[in-house]
Structure 1
């Protein structure tokens, strides 16, 4: 008769035969340390190198009579000090070895290590940077921030990892999991070229504004008073409607701001976009402004936009708009009412003023911004009445200007532009962002899209669009608090499996036998991915095994005291402006 017991750690009985040899080894090691330390101490005191016999009799004498009998010609203090030094050195080595061992245990077996991540390590990042940036090709030593975007440190306790300037990134983390402190703020602070940031809060703005002013001009586009910043610029939104394609994109940003799923547009949404396309293009051709567009929407019978399109030679577009106006009253009114809802934010004069020419203020020009080291903050509230359509239009205008500038420079912007789309699903719904994502990377435009969950992105771009965005992102960081069970399970499968050994013991009449078998087990089960600690993230890089990284928050970096002081001053200024009720228009 036999019985079998399985364990992945072995049986306690398995260690019984090793107790005696282990105790002998421990005693021998302690005796050797005392013997060596005492001899070294005696020699250092001037008694000369005269080691006693390394024997059991010496050990017995040392235990019974003390070190003075073993080293009679040396001071007891010197002998004791020598022993202390040797034992201290041994303890230090043991602690270091234990620490290294714990680090190895902390990183689950099967995740990427230094060898797999060689291209993201400092040396590999520097080599890629020289290939991608002509300005660095002949440089001697280049700074780390010139080599790529800091992702964090390889866990546990590893070197820093950096993505290249042709990578585009998608980060999914729950609120207060480190998106702002560990990703958005560091990317803005470390950017070498121009910066574009979208957000619905003033936290990143308040931390980074003063530092960015040290390297270039700061443009703050704050139509809804997120940072209570007074209007110090204007942007010609209708300039993007110079072509029908540009006008359609502009209309799409306002439609997307009120439509939760870009892949599910009904008749009214599509017709409203067509109508807004015609009106925006007519306004540009006729050198009209936003108030005129709103007036045309309020009065569908107004023939002015039709006449402007005909005068510009856009007969087909004029006929289409006229057909909408002359159609069934119920259909026409439904289309125009939907269009009015899409651009409702422009009814607020404080918002419309930011996109209306003002001779007393400087004009923001996207084509100039992308070639500078300036910073553009695009701030908007989310929810009803937000300026998300305007923010998305401005962000899209800058990104497309960056593509044009890159093509004129031979393919890539140098230095690259950093585009941090924080709260992209709320305030920056660029409908075809998933399709453009990989194209941005090839143009030296480092786009980082920050979302709270995969499902949040699917709500805006649809399942197919979010899948396309996920596939196009060459760098993905998955942080703490991902509670979507289906998504986390998919990630667990993507991370993969590894072999786990199982030891089996059998008892029978002939004695005991041991065997080892192997089974496949998830490297990171779904529950462990969900429970990732704050400040850590799972890194999925194209062509590389997954890895664990620890984010590097801005407040733990050199210079954080100066930045924190400036941030506190900025917060006080925002509070003061809010209390004073500064008019934003």
Structure 2
């Protein structure tokens, strides 16, 4: 469309369309104002007396306001009717804009709200009612009763939760939000009993006061991570009355010094067999751990062999006696390896935590899993670590949960929450990959936190880590994953999407447009490595990958009171640390050592 201007020049081609558009907009707005004002007057009790639908009415409205077309009608009623009518087309328009913005802000190829419906509030609540009989018949459920909070779907939500039958594996670099965005919220929001392992006091300091409101807090701190005074004991040999229990405990001590459970040499395997026999003899014979250490120090001591025979375990007694009567060099090598695996028990402070003490309450795993109590398992990593003891107690607690679930009909209700922070350092359960999916089916919500895939492979081997990865129904990959091979595999796993490229051809016959397609990675490796802190890539079974924003505890409602309690707990840790330190270091140094990360 074109025309001639007053000076003989051509109009801009879009000018005429602009005039038509403005006229149409004025007509639409006037129509809504006319109908809305009349509706407002009618609602106010002045009857349906519409002014003429003409330009004169528009002029009166502009010059005199509501009193022009509708004399005697309150202006509030007229303008209220107009706004009500204007809101009718505005509401669907706003919803449409919101949907378009969400689609524009979401990375192509990743899951959206519809893909994750089963993890959104309605879907996860429906699943919770199926899994937890105690929720039957209740109209309203608290969000934390329905599942475990993962975070908010980027860019604008909703919040996503895993179900009570999911088991989780999280890989994030240090200071990427593992504690603040995962460990602390899981402990604070847990509905049943809690088990937490860690090599730092930060999660303990933040959550202890809140968990005391739910039930008894048990702190197992043999190496003084939180400098907590000993107020409990656990019978290390309590699970060793069967060959299976004794072998599992021996395996935990062996795993604490063996970086790859899939690569056990002769000495490691023989040491585990010997420890199994000694644990079994001590448990059946009622001997304390201190006496067991004496048997390790003196291979010629026949006491464990005799105890096994008295208990009717003749084959086990013969095997142990065969080891003792073997070549001296071989026997000494086996016993020395066994001594190294349990060397942490030579520390009297660690030994006291696993020795019966009539003055203190005994921690009973089978009771813990049925209530709302909290168990903190704290240990250092590296030399002198009590990791074998920590793994043994964590394993005993989770296996007690399995037994309790079987007695309940198959699933714990409420579920047991087990947060295995720094699992590769302080909680090396050698067959954890094999147990993972089994825990989920029993209502034991296990969350294993690792710094990288390679760290897990160092402990469980490549095959074991692959099994753990496959068994985890929910995986969160956070900031700082620097393993190039692993990140490339994740990029391949996330997949690709089609990119349409237009091509315009101009010739004598006119202009033609064609399209070609190519595939690009949804998330290239460099983008996965550069995920911002506080975000994570969610890989859940049965749905496309999604990007989520973690919900750190200090940004949630009630964070002020929790923060104040955490500061008080940190101050108490600092005081206890200062009291235990040798002279000269002072309170300031103790505070730096005990402060949460």
Same fold (TM over 0.5): yes
SS in structure 2 of the partner of residue 248 of structure 1: helix
Q: Which residue of 1 aligns with 2:249?
A: 250
Q: How many residues align?
A: 557
1:466 maps to: 465
CA distance, structure 2, for counterparts of residue 295 and residue 239 of structure 1: 19
Query: Which residues of structure 2 form unaligned runs of 5+?
Result: 1-11, 583-597
CA gap of 1:27–1:215, structure 2 versus 1, over 3 A, is same
Task: Output the CA distance in 2 between the equivalents of 1:208 and 1:355.
Answer: 25
Kindly state the Cα deviation for residue 506 of structure 1 after the two structures are TM-superposed: 1.5
Any idea what the Cα deviations from partners look like across 1:425-455, whole Å, max 9, x if unmatched? 1110000000000100111111111111111
Q: Provide the rounded CA distance (Å) in 2 between the counterparts of 1:467 and 1:323.
A: 37
- Asked whether 1:376 is paired with 2:375, we answer yes
Is the CA contact (8 Å cut-off) linking 1:111 and 1:548 kept in structure 2? yes
- Does residue 229 of structure 1 match 2:228? yes
* 1:475-506 deviation per Cα after TM superposition (whole angstroms, max 9, x unaligned): 11111111111111111111122222111111
- The aligned residue for residue 441 of structure 1 is 440
Maintained 8 Å contact 2:111/2:543: yes
1:53 to 32, 55, 58: 55
Counterpart residue number, 2:268 = 269
Number of the residue aligned with 1:425:
424
Cα drift, residue 521 of structure 1: 2.2
Maintained 8 Å contact 1:38/1:67: no
Q: What's the TM-score, normalizing by structure 1?
A: 0.87
Aligned to 1:299: 298
SS at match of 1:276: helix
Could you tell me which residue of structure 1 aligns to residue 154 of structure 2? 155
Aligned-pair CA distance for 1:39: 7.1
Distance across 2 between alignment mates of 1:387 and 1:25: 81
Q: Distance in 2 between matches of 1:96 and 1:139?
A: 32
CA contact under 8 A between 1:42 and 1:49: conserved in structure 2? no
Whole-angstrom distance in 2 between the partners of 1:359 and 1:324:
36
* Alignment partner of 1:483 is 2:485: no
Residue 10 of structure 1 corresponds to none
- Secondary structure at the aligned position of 1:271 is classed as helix
Equivalent residue, structure 1, for 2:352: 353
Mapped partners of 1:25, 1:334: distance in 2: 96
Shift of 1:508: 2.7
Change (3 A) 1:337 1:499: same
* CA distance in 2 between partners of 1:341 and 1:177 (Å): 35
Q: What SS does structure 1 have at the residue aligned with 2:383? A: coil
Secondary structure at 1:469 match in 2: helix
SS of residue matched to 1:237: coil
1:504-541 deviation line (CA, Å, top 9, x unaligned): 11133333211122222222222222222222211111
**Which residue in the other structure is 2:554 paired with?**
555
TM-score normalised by length of structure 2: 0.86
Give SS of 1:114's match. coil
SS at match of 1:214: helix
The answer to whether the 8 A contact 2:498-2:517 is kept is yes
Show the counterpart of 1:390: 389
Secondary structure of the residue aligned to 1:263 is coil
- Map Cα deviations across residues 374-431 of structure 1 (whole Å, 9 max, x no partner): 0000001111111111100000000111111111111111111001111111110000
How much does 1:26 deviate? Answer: 6.4
Q: Residue 367 of structure 1: CA displacement?
A: 0.6
What is the rounded CA distance, in whole Å, between the counterparts of 2:25 and 2:335 in structure 1?
Answer: 90
Mapped to 2, the partners of 1:120 and 1:49 lie a distance apart of: 54
Asked whether the 8 Å contact 2:194–2:373 carries over to 1, the reply is: yes
How far does the alpha carbon of each residue in 1:28-48 deviate from its partner, in whole angstroms, 9 at most, with x for none?
Answer: 577568867997999999998
**1:333/1:570 Cα in 2 relative to 1: closer, same or farther (>3 Å)?**
same
Summarize the Cα distance change of 1:363–1:50 in structure 2 as closer, same or farther, 3 Å threshold.
Answer: same
SS of corresponding position for 2:237: helix
Distance 1:102 1:512 in 2: 33
Structure 2 SS opposite 1:240: coil
Matches within 5 A, 1:186-225: 186-225=185-224
Distance 1:21-1:538 versus aligned 2 partners, 3 A rule: farther
- Aligned residue in 2 for 1:543: 542
Task: Tell me how far 1:548 sits from its aligned partner.
Answer: 1.7
1:3 aligns with none
* Native 8 Å contact 1:52 1:71 kept in 2: no
Aligned CA distance change for structure 1 residues 97 and 266 (closer, same or farther; 3 Å): same
CA distance in structure 2 between the aligned counterparts of 1:69 and 1:147, rounded to whole angstroms = 58
CA distance in 1, matches of 2:533, 2:464: 28
Instruction: Give yes or no for contact 1:103–1:157 (8 Å, CA) kept in 2.
Output: yes
CA 151–331 in structure 1, closer or farther in 2 if over 3 Å, else same: same
Shift of 1:249: 0.5
What is the CA–CA distance in structure 2 between the aligned matches of 1:315 and 1:70, rounded to whole Å?
Answer: 105
Q: 1:82-117: per-residue Cα shift (whole Å, max 9, x none)?
A: 8x989x989999888666533322211222222221
Once the two structures are TM-superposed, the CA of residue 271 in structure 1 deviates from its matched residue by: 0.9
- State the SS of the aligned residue for 1:514: strand
Report if the CA contact (8 A) 1:220-1:378 is conserved.
yes
SS at match of 2:238: helix
Counterpart of 1:525? Answer: 524
Higher RCO (CA-CA < 8 Å; seq separation 6+): 1
C-alpha separation between the residues in 1 aligned to 2:388 and 2:14? 74
State the distance in 2 between where 1:18 and 1:184 align: 63
Pair 1:175–1:25, CA change in 2 (3 A): farther
Rounded Cα–Cα distance in structure 2 between residues aligned with 1:431 and 1:29: 74
Native 8 Å contact 2:51 2:69 kept in 1: no
